Amino acid sequence: MAFTQGFISELVGKRVTIDELPIGKIGDFLVNHPEATFPQIDGFVVKTAQGARFAPMDSVLGIERGGGVSLSSAPKEPAPPEGEALYLVADLLDKQIVDIDGRKVVRINDLEVARTGGQMRVVAADIGFAGLLRRLGLRKLGERLSPALHERIPRAMIAWDSVAPIREVNPSQVHLSVTASKLARLHPSDLAEIIGNLSSNEAATVVKQLDDEVAADAFEHLDAQTQREIIDSVGTARAADIIEEMDSDDAADLLAELPEERQSELLAEMNADTAGELRELVKYDDDTAGGLMTTDYVWIYPHRTTDATIRKIRELAPESELIYYLYVIDQEDRLLGIVTLRDLLLALPTAFIDKIMRTDIVSVRPETPAEEVAAAIARYDLLAIPVVDAHDRMLGIVTVDDAIDAIMPEELAKKLPRITLRHRSAQRRAKAPAAP
């Protein structure tokens, strides 16, 4: 019977023939484009007496279930080197993968393939006990000894479009697009949990496959030790790119955990303005307003109109998740007032900011203890509180989630998911220019 759908374990080790003469056995399956939703198998690795050879799919005359593969011509030599393509047996079986929909790391016991559209394609990963029995050649034995037991063995399948492999090969040779696009679908806290469950090498491999912003979002949810291990593995330039995308308070916390020499190496790779901000933030103690604050906030001048301000906010901060306050400053960066989005939206388009801003400002100094910062946020029901120096110059803000994180008992923090009210702006300090 022709093989149209089944598992690669049913084919590995089977005979390969030409004109009914055996020339070797199936050793592996090669996929050149694993980024496809259901990637096609481009050929077989044939184990012959002369070594591994490659048989492209266009040379395959037939695949018989239990009978092996017949070829129209001798396989080519040699088989493509590992790392230049995806090998289903060598790269995936018994390897860890990320189950995107299940948001967890699992291990592949077998792979399901099917003929569709004239091509043999990978359609699913078997991560269950049934796949392991099949691999060990015990499934048929179980069926013969106890059909009832066979029926009770659960199948645990993951459709291939929900799979992101973690390959233990040279990262520079890995096809990255499939993993990057799929992992980006995960919430940062879920992605961080997955990364935290991997070995340091595997975690670094995953991070290398993510774009800087996605990696930064996940980094903000990782513990300090995991952050340090990944930073050491991905290289200084890439690590600096990721840290630049992090919220400035989280970036400063990460840098503070590193030796001064390592800090300097990373800062030297960054944009000069960002590096300068982070150097200032690293100086503050963790349990103070300075240690908690971020420099990612939106500020405006008092003589702008509300219409011009709204238009500029749309332009500068389309990705921001938390812009509820706009901080009004003068040319010397002194904090003059605060405007809420509600104030801005309800005001006339021609109204000037200095006419609608609130001047009864609640602020803290950078040396203010974290407990007092949290108490002020709670007392005045704020989403963020500005941090100013002795001359009322704006230094940054402490958001409510960071304030809660700082005072939450460690035992409770471990039991709860990280609060994610933080925001990211496309620019470090978005500035609304003069209205026309």
Q: What does the DSSP 8-state code read for residue 334?
A: B
Identify the residue whose tokens are 């003059």.
336
Q: How many domains does the chain have?
A: 4
Domain boundary among 46, 69, 86: 86
| Start-to-end CA span in the chain (Å) | 77
Q: What does the DSSP 8-state code read for residue 91?
A: I
Q: Is residue 103 located within the same domain as residue 27?
A: no
Q: Is residue 275 located within the same domain as residue 212?
A: yes
Domain boundary among 58, 86, 114: 86
Q: What is the residue range of 71's domain?
A: 5-86
Higher pLDDT, 321 or 124: 124
SS (H, E, C) 170-188: CHHHCCCHHHHHHHCCCCH
Hey, what's the torsion of the CAs at 221, 223, 225, 226, to 10 degrees?
-40
Cβ-contact 322, 294 below 8 angstroms: no
pLDDT digits (tens, 9 = 90+) for 36-56: 778 899 988 999 988 889 999
Question: What 3-state DSSP class applies to 402?
Answer: helix
Q: Is residue 226 located within the same domain as residue 126?
A: no
pTM of the model: 0.58
The whole-chain average pLDDT of the chain stands at 80
pLDDT digits (tens, 9 = 90+) for 374-414: 999 999 999 999 999 999 999 999 999 888 887 776 655 55
User: Rounded CA gap, 196 and 192, in Å?
Assistant: 6
Cβ-contact 197, 227 below 8 angstroms: no
Q: Is residue 173 part of a domain?
A: no
Average pLDDT over residues 72-86: 76
Domain boundary among 86, 110, 128: 86
Cβ-contact 248, 428 below 8 angstroms: yes
Cα-flanking dihedrals φ and ψ of residue 102, to 5°? -85, -10
Write the CATH number for 303.
3.10.580.10
User: Rounded CA gap, 263 and 176, in Å?
Assistant: 29
pLDDT digits (tens, 9 = 90+) for 148-184: 444 444 457 777 776 666 554 333 333 333 345 566 6
Q: Is residue 171 part of a domain?
A: no
Q: What is the crossing angle of helices 236-245 and 212-219, to 10°?
A: 70
∠ CA 132-133-136 to the nearest 5 degrees?
Answer: 90
User: Rounded CA gap, 205 and 186, in Å?
Assistant: 17
